[in-house]
Every structure is written in C-alpha cells, then in structure tokens.
Amino acid sequence: MRHSLIGILAMGLVGCAARVPVRVPAAPSVQVPTTAIAVIAVDRDCREIADRLADALHDLDGMSVQPDAPTRLNLYACNSAWTPESEGVVEGRSVAIAALTTSDGVAAHLLGAARHIDRAGEGPVRASKRVQAQLDGEVAHDLAEQVAPVSTVVRRRVYADPSNDSARQYHNLAVAAERDGRLDDAVWWARLAWERNPTVRRARYVSELTRRLARTGPVSGGSLSVR
C-alpha cells in the first residue's frame, strides 16, 4: 500500500471520517496573452454561463473582465440535458464551447463540460431547475480553470477502517491516488465508489477529477492499481 494511503487511513482512525489536504495544481489549457478579457454570450442559451464565467474570472487576482477588451471569450453551442437515472434521481449534463480570440483571430477553442446528479424528491421540474443551475456554475468553473487556473489546497473527506469493496474504501483509494498525482487512477476509483453508492457528493468528485484529467492527461509510467 502506498505511504500516502497509509497516512490517510491513520488520520481517519480518530473518528468515522477525517479530512486531509490535497494540493490541486494550476493547469491552464491555453495561455491568455493579457490579463484583460471580455466574456461574450454569442448564443442566447449561453447568457447564464457567460455571467457565471465573468464573475469567476473577475474574482481572480490579476485578471480583469472588461466588455471592450480585445481578447475575448465567445461562448456558443451551450446545451444541457437531464434524464431520470433511477427512481428519484435526475442526472444532468451540460457543455459549452468557447472561442478565445485576440486581435490576430481565433487563438483556441475550449470545451466546458459538467455532469451533475441530484435527487428529485420534491418533483422532477424543481429538481431539473436546480440541476441546471448547478450545471451552469460547473461549466463556467471548468472554463475558468482552463483559462486562468490557480493552485489551491482542498480538504478531502476520508474514512476510517472502511469495509472491503465498499464505496468508502474506493473513495479512500481515489483520494490517495489524487494526492500522488495519479489522476487516471483517482478517476477510476472515484467512479467505482459512485457505482457502489451513488451520491451527489461522489458524482461531483468524479466530475471534478474527470475535468482535471482531460486537461492534464494520464500519468506516464504505469499505475499501481489492480484492475
């Protein structure tokens, strides 16, 4: 067993669950040539995501959102769909395409994506609205991370002495892999955890890891996971 996993489990022995720090490095998909940028909703369906993206970029140190900036993020082809995953559960998916343009033309195309699962206990219509709002925020966050990511430290929940082949054990293994920088393994274990016990929290973890893996790629040199 990797040392990081042993350390995680040891920390969790003080109770049912503990939280351990995980560093999330900055991994931009494109290099923006300036700190001033405009966010434009080319399609009407992109307005909410564009507003969320502008807010996310505006909150970053060193980044300025200006409507007349020559460097622009043009959002279009924003589409969402949600379907009943099982009784009482709604799954939503959303994508948006953004064209990064400068005075020289199109510099890059970005794809923002999100997946969210929610329980529709109060009815599918209200649940769909809540899922849509969550998806808009996650797509905007995904695009912001691709343009101007920041290195952060998050605290992941881990569990003490989980049962073999349980969702909690798979979640612990996902966190251990993430701490080691093995995102491909982390995604694999996180998905197993969600399949064992599908919850909103686990679905969000899978979505976050998947987005980061899409930008950074798998770790070279093999994996220690037994699959």
Range among 17-26, 111-120, 167-176 with highest mean pLDDT value: 167-176
- What are the tens digits of pLDDT across the range 42-55? 999 999 999 999 99
C-beta separation of 136 from 48 below 8 A: yes
C-beta separation of 111 from 77 below 8 A: no
C-beta separation of 76 from 99 below 8 A: yes
d(CA 110, CA 123): 34
* pLDDT level of residue 77 (50, 70, 90 thresholds): very high
Do the bridges between strand 64-65 and strand 17-24 make them parallel or antiparallel, or are there none, so unpaired? unpaired
Is residue 48 packed enough to be buried (19+ CB in 10 Å), middle (13-18) or exposed (0-12)?
middle
Name the token pair of 220.
């070279």
CATH class entry, domain 3-25+161-216: mainly alpha
Ramachandran bin of 105, using left for φ above 0, alpha for ψ from -120 to 50, beta for the remaining angles: left
Mean pLDDT, the chain, integer: 81
Domain boundaries, the chain: 3-25+161-216, 36-147
Q: What is the DSSP letter of 44?
A: G
d(CA 54, CA 64): 9
- What are the tens digits of pLDDT across the range 158-189? 999 999 999 999 999 999 999 998 999 999 99
Contacts of 54 (CB under 8 A, 6+ apart): 39, 65
Name the token pair of 169.
């054990």
Is residue 8 packed enough to be buried (19+ CB in 10 Å), middle (13-18) or exposed (0-12)?
buried
Residues 109-119, mean pLDDT to the nearest whole number: 81
CA angle 180, 184, 190 (to 5 degrees): 90
Residues 134-147, mean pLDDT to the nearest whole number: 88
| H runs (alpha helix) in 46-166 | 47-58, 124-147
- pTM value is 0.58
Name the token pair of 205.
């973890």
Choose the CATH number for 36-147 among 3.30.360.10, 1.10.630.10, 3.30.160.150, 3.40.640.10.
3.30.160.150
